[in-house]
Every structure is written in structure tokens, then in C-alpha cells.
Amino acid sequence: MTTLNLHKACTVSSRPSQPLRITAFGDSLIYGYGDPVNGGWVEQLRRRWMASEAGHVIYNLGVRGDTASQVNQRLEQEFILRGELRNKLPDLIILSVGVNDSPRVGKRDSNKSMTDCDRFTLEIVNLLDKAQSLCPVMFVGMVPVDESRMPFHDCLHFNHEDQFRYKEITKSACHVRDIPYLDLFDLWQERGQTWINEHLSEDGIHPNPEGYHAIYQDILHWQPLIQLEQLTSIQR
């Protein structure tokens, strides 16, 4: 399943001798907020590819605080402006969004979420379908927060239970659509809360430089990205 999607990313392009053009859409995890050292995992990937023979180009289109609905609203217009050459479009979309939809608003036991589950399901499905209509897609999931540092901005109660629910909605929607999904939430949970806390910034939500480097390493060892680099290497 995964190989088919990545194969499309490498062969559908009408400019096979050129580096891939990749767009990364999402929230602060794409933007790299919290990493003044290396600029986040997207920036580290950009540097890796810029220094490689393949020379792939990745555009960081992350916006702090964005929800799935907000990414959905800007996706197509920003995508079509990143092809670089006349009448050409990017080859691949990487998405990472959902954590800003998940917090309880006001109180920890509030019944009000930033985006309720039904609405979020609709938004994420629409986002994935729109993205897939443009080109192949990959999805990088959210990381777990440090619940002891909540609430964020004195009103947003991020928590693991709701995070898990929203990431499972996203993961399931990706699976149905044959979209590769990197489950960072589960990967980080397996390493333990102490490890998680050491890799988050003081706000308890955003990764610190060590956290973003860990994400970068997780992505480099993610089979879909390995296949992408192998396929493009063979192509060249």
C-alpha cells in the first residue's frame, strides 16, 4: 500500500530529471516552534535534501495554532503556488495537524472541545480527500503533551485521552485512504513520560530542540520516507 503511494510521487511528475517539490502543511509541529537551534524537523529534512545529490525541495507551510479546518481552507491555494516551474505542481504533501483541535476549553472536565469529534472527523476527511486529489500524501502524527503543565494559556486543557481519540480518528482515515501515517504519539508514549517531558518545551506542548531531533530521526527511520528516498535515487 505504502509503496504504491510513494511510487506515484516519483513517477507521476512530468519532470523526472528534476528534484521533487514537497509541501509540508500543518501546525506548530511543521513550523518547528520550540526549536531555536535547528528550526524543527522539517528544516532538518530540508537541509538534508539540499545537501544531497537528489536535491529535493521542501516548503514549510506550518502555521502555529492551526486546526484541521484552517489547514483545509488554505491547502489548495498555497499548494498550487509551490510548483516553481510554469504549469507544474508539487509532487507530494506532508500533513501534520490535529493537536489544536483536541483540547478542552475552559476547564479540564469541560464538555467543550476546541473542535468536537464529529466536526473534526468531517474536517480531517475533507482535508485528506482534498490533499489526495492534488498529489500523494503522507501524514506525521502529533506528539503527547505533558499534562502536568496544563492548562495552556490558562484555558486550553490538552490531555492524552483526547489526543489519543483525535489521532485515532486521523490514523483510521489515513488507513482507509492508503495514506502512510507516522504514529508519533504511540512511539513517544512507549519511551515513557519522563522521556517525553525531557523532550518538550516549558509549555508542555511543543517539542524542544532534542524533541524535534527525535522526530527527525523517527522520520528518517520511517519506512515510507526510506522508500521515497530509495525510489527517487533509483529514478535518477
**What is the topology classification, in CATH, of domain 21-235?**
Rossmann fold (3.40.50)
223 or 13, greater pLDDT: 223
Q: How far is CA 116 from the centre of its chain?
A: 20
- Each domain of the chain, given as residue ranges in start order, spans 21-235
Residue 49 has a pLDDT of 92
Spatial neighbors of 29 by CB under 8 A, at least 6 apart, are 40, 41, 62, 96, 99, 140, 142, 143, 206, 207, 215
Task: Report the alpha-carbon distance of residue 24 to residue 44 in Å, rounded.
Answer: 13
pLDDT for 165-201, tens place per residue?
999 999 999 999 999 999 999 999 999 999 999 999 9
Spatial neighbors of 120 by CB under 8 A, at least 6 apart, are 68, 98, 101, 102, 166, 169
Give the H/E segment covering residue 227: helix 223-235
Question: Does the N-terminal peptide bond of residue 103 adopt cis geometry, omega within 30 degrees of 0?
Answer: no
Question: Is residue 236 over pLDDT 70?
Answer: no
Q: What is the DSSP letter of 222?
A: -
pLDDT for 90-140, tens place per residue?
999 999 999 999 998 877 777 788 899 999 999 999 999 999 999 999 999
Spatial neighbors of 184 by CB under 8 A, at least 6 apart, are 140, 141, 142, 143, 215, 218
pLDDT for 41-71, tens place per residue?
999 999 999 998 878 899 999 999 999 999 9
**Contact (Cβ atoms closer than 8 angstroms) between residue 33 and residue 206:** yes
